[in-house]
Amino acid sequence: MTRTEDAAGLVPAAFRSGVRRLTAEQGAVSGPSGAEWSDRLPRLLADLLDDWDLEPVGPGATGWTAVVVPVRRAGEPCALKVAWPHLEGREEALALRHWQGRGAVRLIQADPSRGALLLEWLDPSRDLRSVDVDTACEVVGGLLAELAVPAPPGLRLLSVFAREQADRLTASAGVLPRRMVRRAAGLVEDLTADGSCDATLLHTDLHYENVLAGQRSPWLAIDPHPMAGHRAFELQPLLRNRVEELGSGSAFRYLVRRRLEIAGAAAGLDEQEVLAWSYVHTAIEAGWAAADGDSEGVTLNIALLKALDG
């Protein structure tokens, strides 16, 4: 069996089949389609294992666009992450290098041209779903405080992104009730009026599954989708997971706000700014859910907007 065939065995067939459906346009960067990248993946993995002197020690785990293979280098456990080129992950190496392991997984080596990262080993079996939600929110808030460093140049700007998304919502009649669209657009205008809203390096996707147990620190963030922006934009992902624990009726509103209150306090953020940016972030998520034909996602986000209003 060749090295490439060995590498192919590290990647679940279902992942390669799924990623083949992605188009180059969905990546929003100059790069291969999902089908082209899937065909190249075994050879790409084999080359990386050789070039970085890595020994695979198990099959790869996968997400939507990436495979992470447990490896050893000089006897030390590491994780080799290889991702299909897409906009949200384009600057992951830059962000991890900028954080230098403070609050986030440590970057050992990177080859952005091949979408490859060699990372310190964290425990993939233990994320923040394994602790009670109040503790999880406090942990995330603490990590956000650690990750709060000035943004390096070249990142996408939250101010530009938020305005673009608000314009799309305004142009997409019927996605959200009109009053919600008007409120989101008004908040974007107010929140981005000051250029300082693009000052901080953001993770933007720090939900419970993107925090893993480590050895040098109890919990560390993984998989950033970097942007330069305002820190209060960071908390909304805490509302997208463990939804069943939010309950219903008046409990729903209370528990939505409780998550933000706990995380915001741990991060040292202003409560009103957290509510405002979370409203904007949720409206954006609703627009994306509608574009994907995800009616359950739209319903959830409308419920969240109601809970965040007033």
DSSP string across 122-143: -EEEEEGGGS-HHHHHHHHHHH
Question: Of 1-5, 174-178, 204-208, where does the model show the most confidence?
Answer: 204-208
HEC secondary structure over 260-290: HHHHHHHHCCCHHHHHHHHHHHHHHHHHHHH
Range(s) of the domain holding residue 111: 3-120
- Among 127, 198, 205, 223, the active-site one is 205
> What integer pLDDT is reported at residue 55 of this predicted model?
95
Residue range 157-163: average pLDDT?
A: 97
pLDDT at 1: 47
Does 205 qualify as catalytic in the annotation?
yes
Domain shared by 134 and 110, yes or no: no
Number of domains in the chain: 2
Q: Residue 310, SS3?
A: coil
Rounded Cα distance, 109 and 117, in Å: 6
> How far is Cα 178 from Cα 157, in angstroms, rounded to an integer?
26
Q: Given pLDDT bands bounded at 50, 70 and 90, which one contains residue 120?
A: very high
pLDDT for position 106: 98
Residues 41 and 86 placed together within one structural domain of the fold: yes
Q: pTM (2 decimals)?
A: 0.93
Are both 114 and 131 inside the same structural domain?
no
The pLDDT, as a whole number, for residue 22 is 73
The last residue of a domain, from among 78, 97, 120:
120
CATH of the domain at 231: 3.90.1200.10
Across the range 149-169, mean pLDDT stands at: 95
> Of the candidates 94, 120, 146, which is a domain's last residue?
120
Distance CA 271, CA 200 (A): 18
Q: Binning pLDDT at 50, 70 and 90, where does residue 30 land?
A: low
- How far apart CA 12 and CA 163 sit, in angstroms, is 39
In this prediction, what percent of the chain has a pLDDT beyond 70? Answer: 95
Question: What CATH number does the domain containing 44 carry?
Answer: 3.30.200.20
Same domain, 27 and 131: no
**82 plus 141 within the same structural domain:** no
Going by pLDDT thresholds of 50, 70 and 90, the confidence category of residue 195 is confident
| Backbone torsions φ then ψ of 131, nearest 5 degrees | -125, 165
Q: Mean pLDDT, the chain, as a whole number?
A: 92
